[in-house]
Amino acid sequence: MARTPDAGKRERILDAAVVEIAGHGFFQTTVAMIAKRAGVADGTIYLYFRNKDEILLSLFDRAMGRFIKEGSTHLEQALTATEKLEKIVELHLSLVGKDRDLAIITQVEMRHSIHFMDQVSRDQVGRYLEILTRIVAQGQQEGRFRGDMEPVFAAKAVFGVLDEMATDWVLSRRNTRLESKVGPVTAFLLAGLRKDPQV
Amino acid sequence: MARTPDAGKRERILDAAVVEIAGHGFFQTTVAMIAKRAGVADGTIYLYFRNKDEILLSLFDRAMGRFIKEGSTHLEQALTATEKLEKIVELHLSLVGKDRDLAIITQVEMRHSIHFMDQVSRDQVGRYLEILTRIVAQGQQEGRFRGDMEPVFAAKAVFGVLDEMATDWVLSRRNTRLESKVGPVTAFLLAGLRKDPQV
DNA sequence: CTTTAAAATGAATGATCATTCAGTATAATA
DNA sequence: TATTATACTGAATGATCATTCATTTTAAAG
């Protein structure tokens, strides 16, 4: 009867949005700029997204989706809490470090208003914190992690360290690899969590 | 000869800006809104600030200035690296936790673009990180902190934990006091830094 | 080849605001 | 009190864009 929707178009719009927003910031990026880079008309954007804000939210959803997918696969073959933590540090830093433009979005552009943070933080980041919390609790049950520590608190501390390393990497112009921080971060976090560190 | 400038006016404009920006976000806050709350005409704003962006930057400068001032006083009567670290955790969390509106600005609104982050991050936050770095290095020299750890790296980790606690507090609606995290944070960080923890 | 339902277009709309500046008010001096 | 340098005002300006929608293009189905 009629035309079939172009399945890849939405993705191409999001890809264009990553580049433009990373380069100019969300508020300095116009819908027309995204449309132009994606090779579609301005109006076409609105066939795929309710409004400009929704583009940014979708960007984060897509990134988080990949993250969760890859993460759960790797964490399934898990193991002790220590091993899980090592794995998640590696995953976090390697996934963020894989795409600088996307990292600019997640580490900087996404955080521009408390209303935005609310929408994102409660759902997606909340789920991530839950995963971390469960790992800590497991470590305590295994008797490897200190018991005098709220798992929820420790999860936030772990997230804080990972997030700061990511942000620092994004803001620094130097050509370092974020993954080079895997070792130090793991060592630092395990020292903070472990009951009886090997001195 | 003529009228003298009202010394307090600039401060009143900044105070108004904190409330408006914390309430609506930087980009949804109009200069007119700030002017109205400050009780001045729109144009008056431009006698004290070059443009809207400069208001936000000044807000951060003012906050950071207070922070550094209070911080250096307390840190002077310092002591071992461990004691300094305890002090700085307490200072950081109590100063951020003192004014929720200001905390919204520093934890969320300031971070809305990489260009903004650059201006701020390199100068002010950089200086703060230097202080933390020196504390870590001192701890290593005293033989209390692990030596197999880059002081700059450890400083970022410490900052990451503090910053995440602050952001989490700002985003959570619950009526907790940020200072209640001083104990857990200190314990976690010292465990991560110390050479030979008391088990 | 014709029909047709849906996708795509992009010029036009309408709002929103940061910023300016010509004019007014004020307080320090003479 | 008159003078005057400066602070202050707020209506007007001029740009900028997100969003819409009447029209056009496309490709599947008959």
Closest to B111 (Cα-Cα) out of A47, A117, A100, A73: A117
pLDDT value at residue A167: 94
Q: Which helix (H) or strand (E) holds A88?
A: helix A81-98
Query: Which B-chain residues 81-110 have CB contacts (< 8 A) with chain A?
Result: 104, 108-109
For chain B, helix (H) and strand (E) counts, in that order, are 10, 0
**Spatial distance from the CA of B3 to the C1' of D2 (Å):** 16
Q: What is the pLDDT of residues B116-175, one digit of tens each?
A: 777 776 677 888 899 999 999 999 999 999 999 999 999 999 999 999 999 999 998 788
The answer to whether residue B197 scores a pLDDT higher than 80 is: no
The answer to whether residue B107 scores a pLDDT higher than 80 is: yes
Which portions of chain A are predicted below pLDDT 70?
1-2, 4-5, 78, 121-122, 196-199
Quick one: DSSP state of residue A180?
G
Q: Which nucleotide is nearest to B42 (CA to C1')?
A: D10
Helices (H), A99-150: 100-107, 114-120, 126-141
Report which residue is nearest nucleotide D10 when distances run from CA to C1': B41
Separation between Cα atoms, residue B112 and residue B25, nearest integer Å: 10
Separation between Cα atoms, residue B63 and residue B68, nearest integer Å: 9
Query: For residue B2, what pLDDT band results from cuts at 50, 70 and 90?
Result: low
pLDDT value at residue A5: 66
Q: Who has greater pLDDT, B95 or B110?
A: B95
The answer to whether residue B68 scores a pLDDT higher than 90 is: no
Tokens (6 digits) for A129? 């914190």
The answer to whether residue B92 scores a pLDDT higher than 80 is: yes
Alpha-carbon distance A147 to nearest alpha carbon in chain B (angstroms): 11
| Alpha-carbon B84 to chain mean position | 18
Separation between Cα atoms, residue A102 and residue A122, nearest integer Å: 20
Q: Do A117 and B28 make contact, defined as CB atoms within 8 angstroms? A: no
pLDDT value at residue B77: 78
Residues of B in contact with A19 (CB under 8 A): none
Q: What is the pLDDT of residues B183-196, one digit of tens each?
A: 999 999 999 999 86
The answer to whether residue B199 scores a pLDDT higher than 50 is: no
- Reported pTM: 0.92
Q: Do B189 and A193 make contact, defined as CB atoms within 8 angstroms? A: no
